[in-house]
Amino acid sequence: MGERKGTNKYYPPDYNPKAGGLNKFLGTHALRERARKIHQGIIIIRFEMPYNIWCEGCNNHIGMGVRYNAEKTKAGMYYTTPVYQFKMKCHLCDNHFVIKTDPANLDYLILSGARRQENRWDPLQNEQVVPETKETQKRLFDDSMFKLEHGVQDVTTAESAKPRLAQLFNRNESVWSDYYSANQNLRKAFRMQTKELKNSAAIDKALLKKSSLDIHLVAETDEDKKYASLLSKKFQSADANETTQTLRKRIIASACLPSDFTPAKEKKALKILKEGTSQMSQTLVKKKLNKFLSNINTETVTCETNESELKNIESSEKSEISISADPMTCDSYRSKVEKFDPSKKNESSSVAVKRLKLTSLVGDYSSGTDTD
């Protein structure tokens, strides 16, 4: 492909080699749009974020490795190493942040527009092996006292790490000292795991067959169990509401008397109710009789009332009152009624007695007035 670089370039007829190269003759740059600010000492490059940062404009997190079109400028020198500065725009807002190289610490510095997410630590704190610097190596070679002090520090570090190393060694020996037992335990664990996987596969297969599905079921997780328990509680609450409604209907349909209301107590309550009703009925009958006799304005008719028979009749739903009288008294009473109303002359004794009962309760039912 190298031979095409010269042949694929078009040289116009008025091209003059004395003017320089083809880009200089055409007034262009080899980097095209990337060099549009080359006269200001700025070149456009593709910059990759060296670590995680937080944008100060929108407070969004920008991860390491995100790439931007950045303006690269030379900011200075560190001995013979140039220090470069990069300015770029956040892809989530209109904020710009500036990052500069730090050759002294082999790092990058944020000048403005963002802040670094601190993930740095001292390698000595997590017991990493850190190589000695050139200055330390030179002092160890030249200074015997420094070498002795450095050796004492190494011995102290080794002594402090001995208990932890012994604990790890003993744990390793307790597990792997007997290879046969260790192998047996591993195979046993593998067999149990295989059995569980087979059971789970059988359950999944039965569920798929029951649901007529042809999909792959993933393994059950703790989160799935949590959601399932919440759904079951929801259904249980619905069942509880239905049970409450059924219980309410049962209570409404049941008797209002307590469960210890025995037949003897029931008879006693009915007796008290009968006595109260009987007294009220007797008072009402007496008022009706007095009113009827005053309207007829005749001789007082004496009718003896059977008290026990009156109580039994008044306790019934019809509230009929049975009044027994001797034939002579009823005949005399009928004669008086015939004088008052001649249309009732041919009535029999039983009909007359019945009429007497009714009129004693509600007055003369043949009357056209509502005063009785």
Between residues 12 and 46, the one the model is more confident about: 46
**Share of residues in the chain with pLDDT > 70 (%):** 65
The Cα 347–Cα 114 span in angstroms is: 122
pLDDT in tens, 114-155: 999 988 877 777 767 777 778 888 888 888 888 888 888 888
Between residues 47 and 128, the one the model is more confident about: 47
Q: Looking at residue 256, what is its pLDDT?
A: 58
Q: Which of 14-28, 35-49, 210-224 has the highest mean pLDDT?
A: 35-49
- Pair of tokens at residue 130: 């850190």
Whether residue 244 is predicted with pLDDT greater than 70 in this model: the reply is yes
Contact in structure between 55 and 114 (CB atoms under 8 Å): yes
Between residues 164 and 230, the one the model is more confident about: 164
pLDDT in tens, 210-228: 988 888 888 888 888 888 8
Q: Kindly indicate the confidence band of residue 276, based on its pLDDT and cuts at 50, 70 and 90.
A: low
Q: Kindly indicate the confidence band of residue 299, based on its pLDDT and cuts at 50, 70 and 90.
A: very low
Number of helical H runs and strand E runs in the chain: 10, 8
* Chain centroid to CA 188: 42
pLDDT in tens, 344-353: 555 555 555 5
Whether residue 97 is predicted with pLDDT greater than 90 in this model: the reply is yes
Between residues 82 and 350, the one the model is more confident about: 82
- DSSP 3-state assignment of 159? helix
Whether residue 326 is predicted with pLDDT greater than 50 in this model: the reply is no
Contact in structure between 296 and 340 (CB atoms under 8 Å): yes
DSSP H or E stretch at residue 303: none
Contact in structure between 65 and 75 (CB atoms under 8 Å): no
Question: Within the chain, where are the H helices?
Answer: 4-7, 22-26, 134-142, 144-176, 179-211, 222-253, 263-296, 307-314, 327-340, 349-362
- Residues contacting 237, CB < 8 A, separation 6+: none
The Cα 310–Cα 283 span in angstroms is: 12
Q: Looking at residue 86, what is its pLDDT?
A: 96
DSSP states of 337-361: HHHH-GGGTT--HHHHHHHHHHHHH
Domain borders along the chain are: 25-116, 138-176, 189-231, 274-362
Q: Kindly indicate the confidence band of residue 319, based on its pLDDT and cuts at 50, 70 and 90.
A: very low
Which single residue is written with the structure tokens 């220090």? 83
Name the DSSP class of 212.
T
Q: Kindly indicate the confidence band of residue 285, based on its pLDDT and cuts at 50, 70 and 90.
A: low
